Structure 1
Amino acid sequence: MTAQPTPPTGTELARPGHRSVEALHSMIYFSPDADEAFTALGLDTRPMRYFAGRAAPMGAVGAGIVAATFYNFNPRIIAEVIPRAWSIAAPATVVETRFRAADASLRRLLGPEALGSDELAEAAALARRATDACRPEARPLFAGHADLDWPEAPHLVLWHAASLLREHRGDGHLMVLQEAGLTGAQALVLQITSGEGLSRKFAQLSRGWSDQEWQQAQDELRQRGLLDDAGEITAAGREFREDVEHRTDALAAAPWAHLGAENAQRLAGHGKQLSRLIAKAGAFPGQAFAGGGRANEG
């Protein structure tokens, strides 16, 4: 009798699952609908819109809490806009506005055919079911989002579930970075040096790190053997990063194990299809997109 293949574990399903649905959440950060709606509230700079939009589910928290949960951003640039943003728009208003912007964006990007498809409805149901296994302990950004009411429309159920899965994984990732002894700046430098994600220029500018601070993080990573003298990632650095990602997968395994391999793979299939659709419709202007994602560094 031929041996049957062993079904993948929750840990093995976590990374491809994350990559398949992450774009369905992160499109909000590139959305002209969100920019317009937040600007109308008075959140008139991109950093304010980003920090307030993502942190609002936690309530009117201070800059220190946002810096702790966003991790790889320089606390200095967060303090420039938080908590001032809450004097302009209350967190509950920001949350409501963000959902309306997500609604407008997904309707525009998906189009009526995909919006009313069985695939989207199944993806929404599966993604919501996956979040049932997410626990809030030690995951403040996830917990804030998990306290929000569920929307009714399937495309918004999917968006909210993708947001929950992303923040659940992200909070776990920060636990791993702490255990690995990486500061936010070091984690960002190591990620960018590995060739994943953003360019150094954009990452450094958007995260608020000066050339001197970037160089200091490089020097610290070099002392640990994770970068070489030229500032390139070493073999040990790549092994270190993969270990960080694997441990992040383990902490993110619960929702995917809860679905089981067959349903997790169905959700991943639908997620990839829908992610490609919104990318083709212009969800990520100027950004390369190959139907995947990456672990959240902060």
Structure 2
Amino acid sequence: MGEASRVTGRFRGTFDALHSLTYFAPETEAALTDAGLRPGRMTYFAGRAAPMGAVSPGVVAATFYNFNPELVARHIPRAWTLASPDRIIEARFEAVDATLTRLLGKDTIDSEQVAEAAELAREATGGCQADGRPLYAGHADLDWPSEPHLVLWHAVTLLREHRGDGHIAALVLNGLGGLEALVTHTATGKGFQAAAAKATRGWSDEQWDAAGDALREKGVLDAEGGLTEAGNDLRERIEVATNAASTGPWEHLGEEKTKRLHELCGSLSRQAVEAGAFPANVFSKGQ
């Protein structure tokens, strides 16, 4: 297995933490509500979708994939009447600046480690392809920030959304809609517990149960809600396809630089987690 394949399989713990920490940071909600948004889910939906412009709730639900469209529609398009996408993007970078400075400290922010990681991560994004990746493409059209820690965050965001769009393509190819994807991911035991998945993604017990029944009829889930052998095979095919669609940046960067970036970002991610970036157990697996 080459370095590119290894890195794609370990993306979540090493790289994604540096992006996802912003969703748990109080600075994010503060900056986005100061920009005009309402606190809570609106800041997440609008903050992440803003690079695509003032899109409809259907576009947000389609590109985010496993959220209940009914939940999305409670916040989008109203968000765009409260703050423009450009203002939301500006506020998001302000929040990232404050969050990374708090979690990593000014000495780390200004370090050669962060500057080197930013340069390598930005170089890796040169191997990303926008074709069929709408959420990635929106973020890729943004201007690059100038400060190294913001360059690093933006580059990791691009790598993350590029991988995420590829993951959705793999789910579609394998016949799993958003809710079914969430139910089967929960059944792997590697993600949310069902209660947390329903609460954060906006699905009712009835909707969740109906999806489970449909998956049992397909032979994907067993009577207890666990994955059958066919279900495990399905999830494995999806992960293999996701990884295969995500190797471009690492092949572009090359094995030696990819290994170095993995080391740098792994160290920064651990520092952020140890500083309390996430609630307990959010990034405990694979970290």
Q: State the TM-score, normalized to the length of structure 2.
A: 0.96
Deviation, structure 1 residue 17: 4.0
Moved over 6 A (4+): none
Alignment of 1:11-22 (within 5 A): 11-22=5-16
The aligned amino acid for 1:82 is I
Deviation, structure 1 residue 9: 5.5
Q: Is the 8 A contact 1:72 1:187 kept in 2?
A: yes
The aligned amino acid for 1:95 is I
For structure 1, list consecutive stretches of 5 or more residues without a partner in the other structure: 1-6, 294-298
Q: Is the 8 A contact 2:51 2:142 kept in 1?
A: yes
Q: Is the 8 A contact 1:17 1:265 kept in 2?
A: no
C-alpha distance in 1, partners of 2:17/2:11? Answer: 11
Moved more, 7-16 or 181-190: 7-16
Q: Does 1:231 align with 2:222?
A: no
C-alpha distance in 1, partners of 2:39/2:101? Answer: 25
Deviation, structure 1 residue 113: 2.4
Deviation, structure 1 residue 70: 0.6
Q: Does 1:36 align with 2:41?
A: no
Moved more, 109-118 or 267-276: 109-118
Moved more, 36-45 or 22-31: 36-45
C-alpha distance in 2, partners of 1:154/1:135? Answer: 23
Q: Per chain length, whose mean CA-contact separation is higher, i.e. which structure has more relative contact order (CA < 8 Å, sep 6+)?
A: 1
From 262, 279, 283, the counterpart of 1:285: 279
From 43, 52, 57, the counterpart of 1:58: 52
Q: Is the 8 A contact 2:60 2:72 kept in 1?
A: yes
Q: Is the 8 A contact 1:23 1:292 kept in 2?
A: no
Q: Is the 8 A contact 1:17 1:264 kept in 2?
A: no
Deviation, structure 1 residue 291: 7.2
C-alpha distance in 2, partners of 1:23/1:54? Answer: 15
Instruction: Report what 2:124 is aligned to.
Output: 130
Instruction: Report what 1:4 is aligned to.
Output: none
From 18, 26, 33, the counterpart of 1:24: 18
1:108-157: CA deviation from partner (whole Å, max 9, x where unpaired):
10012221222211111111000011111110100000000001111101
Q: CA 1:250–1:269 in 2, change beyond 3 Å: closer, same or farther? A: same
RMSD of the TM alignment (CA)?
1.4
Instruction: Report what 1:154 is aligned to.
Output: 148
Moved more, 33-42 or 173-182: 33-42
C-alpha distance in 2, partners of 1:292/1:145? Answer: 26
Q: Does 1:80 align with 2:60?
A: no
C-alpha distance in 2, partners of 1:37/1:199? Answer: 30
Instruction: Report what 1:243 is aligned to.
Output: 237
For structure 2, list consecutive stretches of 5 or more residues without a partner in the other structure: none
C-alpha distance in 2, partners of 1:236/1:37? Answer: 45
The aligned amino acid for 1:137 is D
- Over the matched positions of the two proteins, sequence identity in percent amounts to 51
The aligned amino acid for 1:23 is A
C-alpha distance in 1, partners of 2:105/2:266? Answer: 16
From 198, 205, 218, the counterpart of 1:204: 198
Instruction: Report what 2:260 is aligned to.
Output: 266
C-alpha distance in 1, partners of 2:3/2:102? Answer: 36
From 263, 266, 269, the counterpart of 1:275: 269
> When the two structures are aligned, how many residues end up with a matched partner?
287
